[in-house]
A = this chain, B = another copy of it.
Amino acid sequence: MKFGVIGFKGRMGSLILDVFSKDNHEPVLLIDKDEIIENDSPEVIIDFSTPDALKNTINLCEKYQSKLVIGTTALREEHFRLLENLSKKVAIVQSYNYSIGINIILDILEKVNKILENWDCEIIETHHSKKKDKPSGTAILIKNTLNRDVEVHSLRLGGIPGDHSVFFSNEGELIEITHRAISRKVFAIGALKAAKFILNKQNGLFTFKDIIKEELQ
């Protein structure tokens, strides 16, 4: 496929460029703060950059009728409204976490949350010290899935790609469910899976969970 990357010089952007290129896809639109490379019309645009970039990304999607895979975290309500509008015209995958493991864990939590409703519950997330948002988008996803008032502890440590743990405990026992991203590459691989998924969708706003579910059927 012909693809575009927003923030292609950043950590995630360059990984995405790398993973897509190695899978024989063609980068035709590369954008960063100080550089724009526009060679052709992309079928899909991948944006794992910052909320500030979103408006321009949406303009590009409309200009080229490109589908969108968006992994930017710390989005606000106004951003979700923009995405919903765009999704009437092109297909979008939006997720705070593009790893298969996290999405399996979200599925588990949905199922066990009710049985464990009387157990205490807390969340810990650990990321590299350069991550700006707190808590992580994934921790927010987990909290929303649990749908109760649960405390999130955010650690910022060295070069950790991303750990998330959920703890449930009563007087006599403790359950811990933990996910560790071994390298940030796992999110680029998930973005590629998402790009392939929406290639044959017309429009609509999808999540990474929809992809996992389609795969499980």
Among B115, B170, B177, B179, contact of A159 (Cβ-Cβ < 8 Å): B170
- Complex: chain B residue closest to A162, CB-CB: B173
Chain B residues positioned under 8 Å from A183 (CB to CB): 159, 172, 183
- Assuming the contacts A111-B108, A112-B104, A153-B153, asked whether A160 and B172 have C-beta atoms less than 8 A apart, the reply is no
Q: How far is the CA of A157 from the CA of B174 in the complex (A)?
A: 8
**Complex partner residue of A172 from B107, B112, B129, B181, CB under 8 angstroms:** B181
A185 to B146, CA, bound (A): 28
Number of copies: 4
A54-62, A68-76, A119-127 - the one binding chain B: A119-127
Which among B119, B155, B158, B159 is the interface contact of A158 at CB below 8 angstroms?
A: B119
> Is B161 a contact of A182 with CB atoms below 8 Å?
yes
Q: Is A178 an interface residue (CB 8 A)?
A: yes
Give chain B residues whose Cβ lies under 8 Å from the Cβ of A141: none
Residues of B near A172 (CB, < 8 A) are 99, 158-159, 181-183, 185-186, 189
Chain B contacts for A36, CB-based, 8 A: none
Q: Is the CB of A100 within 8 A of B173?
A: yes
**Interchain nearest-CB distance for A79 vs B (Å):** 27
Query: Does A140 lie at the interface of the complex (its beta carbon under 8 Å from any beta carbon of B)?
Result: no
Contact with A129, one of B99, B120, B126, B161 (Cβ below 8 angstroms): B120
Per the bound structure, the CA–CA distance linking A168 and B158 in Å amounts to: 8
Q: Is A144 close to B, CB under 8 A? A: no
Partner of A180, one of B100, B122, B129, B176: B176
Known: A108-B111, A158-B169, A159-B169. 4 other contacts (CB 8 A): A124-B124, A151-B155, A158-B182, A160-B182
- Could you pull out 17 A-B pairs where Cβ atoms are within 8 angstroms? A99-B172, A101-B168, A101-B175, A104-B112, A108-B111, A120-B158, A128-B171, A158-B174, A159-B169, A161-B182, A169-B182, A172-B182, A172-B183, A173-B179, A174-B182, A176-B180, A177-B178
